[in-house]
Amino acid sequence: MRKTKRQPTLIEALIPIVFLIILLSLNVLLFEDTLQGSNQIALMTAAALAGLIGMRMGFKWTEMRKQIVKTISTAMPAILILLLIGALSGTWLISGVIPALIYYGLDILNPKIFLFAAVVISGIVSLATGSSWSTIATIGVALLGIGDAMGIDKAIVAGAIISGAYFGDKMSPLSDTTNLAPAVAGTDLFTHIRYMMYTTVPTMTITLIIFLIMGFTMHTGDVQTHGVAVQDAIAGTFNVTPWLFLVPAILFAVIMKKVQPLPALAVGVVLGAVFAVIFQPQIIENLYNGEGNYFKVSYIVVMKAIYGQTNIITEDPAMNELFTSGGMSGMLETIWLILSAMFFGGIMESTGMLRKITLSVLKLIKSDGSLIGSTAFSCIFFNVTASDQYISIVVPGEMYSEAFKDRGLKPEVLSRTLEDSGTVTSVLVPWNTGGATQARVLGVPTLSYLPFAFFNLISPLMTILFGYLNIKIRRYRKGK
């Protein structure tokens, strides 16, 4: 006889979560770099445990596998973008684009206001392009280099860059998540953006004040002397010219034309390759370290920069670590982590364990504030367990939609909560697509920059605070 499927109990649903937390905690304590494989194995082991519990409940492996494939398919755009970001970092390095941005940035930016400026610059670029990922992979990498040259802790700089980039991503009408949240909640895009300003503007203001205070109080050493040494090292290695700014300018123009991320980033990769051949022949010849005509040499070096490791040696040993790119192959550990996370999330979703946990939370709701708080918590929970920011918006949006209506709350209250809690917290989870990607792109572990990503930390707290204090909570009028 066919075994009848049943829904999980709360204890059964929590067992894989608790087991995963224990394994991840051990990894943090015992491994220096958890991205190399320990976190991936932890996720797959927890997924196997969830699968065994699912089979015990009557679910077939084929049913769970179908959901795993579906979940992984939602992450495929992120994986492809990640590969192109790896290629972009390679060609922008050998073309001198990133070094040039650092070179001129040291002339413009003052160390005291650098963190403040990093948030503002990242925010403006992300707002204009609608993409936090593209912003961090381009201008963010350059800002990290400038901050490093000024002697500022990379983790703090990364927190400032991420804060600004996710502010722009959250508020831009070009952003996919900014369009997704109102679509799920049942409101229109611009009502959603206007309503988000009530919580986002105070959050961003607090973030800017914190970074401004940090800039004026932190000690950066002899910035001028070190900055000049860095500029000399860059100028002695690369052909630094303002013409290189055409590459990011053209890329941002392409993105602002609403070109999709994959073809837009591909344009950036090609531009970087072309400018490398034109402006950096000495870099190409040094990286080849052999004989051959320039066409052969440039083709091989550019190709390797796209797919493999590139190391450029300068006169300043401290900058050599920055002028390193892993290309597409450097992203493979991150892709492995994302696939492992999707494996775990797919089994938890297919067996109803994630839904069981969320529905249990729903039973505790007694007020509008607790409903908003529960929604925010669920978004964060799905970022941790399902490891994808889109799932953290869509699933809680669908689950809490009726509850918001029953309490007379307009859909923009739900859409704002989803964005304030789902979009911005994905980058704070090491195995989430957002956290894994930005840690790899910036070369700073997620848990290192997490305490300084103030905008991302404050956003869900702000939306919960507004809910409990009944500030700007829109309701339907009686009879409507």
| pTM, to two decimals | 0.77
What average pLDDT is seen over the chain? 86
Q: Domain for residue 284, yes or no? A: yes
What is the number of other CB atoms lying within 10 angstroms of the CB of residue 406?
9
Q: Who has greater pLDDT, 479 or 377? A: 377
Q: Domain for residue 71, yes or no? A: no
- Whether 214 shows a pLDDT value over 90: the answer reads yes
Could you give the CA distance from residue 390 to residue 76 in angstroms, rounded to a whole number? 12
Instruction: Find the angle CA(76)-CA(80)-CA(86) to the nearest 5 degrees.
Output: 145
What is the predicted pLDDT for the residue at 220?
63
Residue 445: CA count within 13 A, CB half-sphere: 10
Could you give the CA distance from residue 264 to residue 392 in angstroms, rounded to a whole number? 26
What is the predicted pLDDT for the residue at 28?
73
Band of the pLDDT at 323, cuts 50, 70, 90? Answer: confident
Place of tokens 């790899």: 440
What is the distance between the terminal CA atoms of the chain, rounded to a whole angstrom? 52
Q: Which of 129-138, 313-322, 329-338, 417-426 has the lowest mean pLDDT?
A: 313-322
Q: Domain for residue 373, yes or no? A: no
Express each pLDDT in 116-159 by its tens digit.
999 999 998 888 677 888 888 888 888 898 888 888 899 999 99
Q: Domain for residue 253, yes or no? A: yes
Q: Domain for residue 195, yes or no? A: yes
Q: Domain for residue 350, yes or no? A: no
Express each pLDDT in 332-360 by its tens digit.
887 887 788 788 888 988 898 888 887 78
Burial class (CB in 10 A: 0-12, 13-18, 19+), 189: middle
**What is the domain count for the chain?**
1
Q: Which domain holds residue 247?
A: 83-328
- Whether 105 shows a pLDDT value over 90: the answer reads no
- Whether 284 shows a pLDDT value over 90: the answer reads yes
Q: Domain for residue 358, yes or no? A: no
Of 424, 437, 342, 381, nearest in space to 78 by CA: 437
Q: Domain for residue 355, yes or no? A: no
Query: What's the token pair of residue 368?
Result: 């509008």
What is the predicted pLDDT for the residue at 469?
92
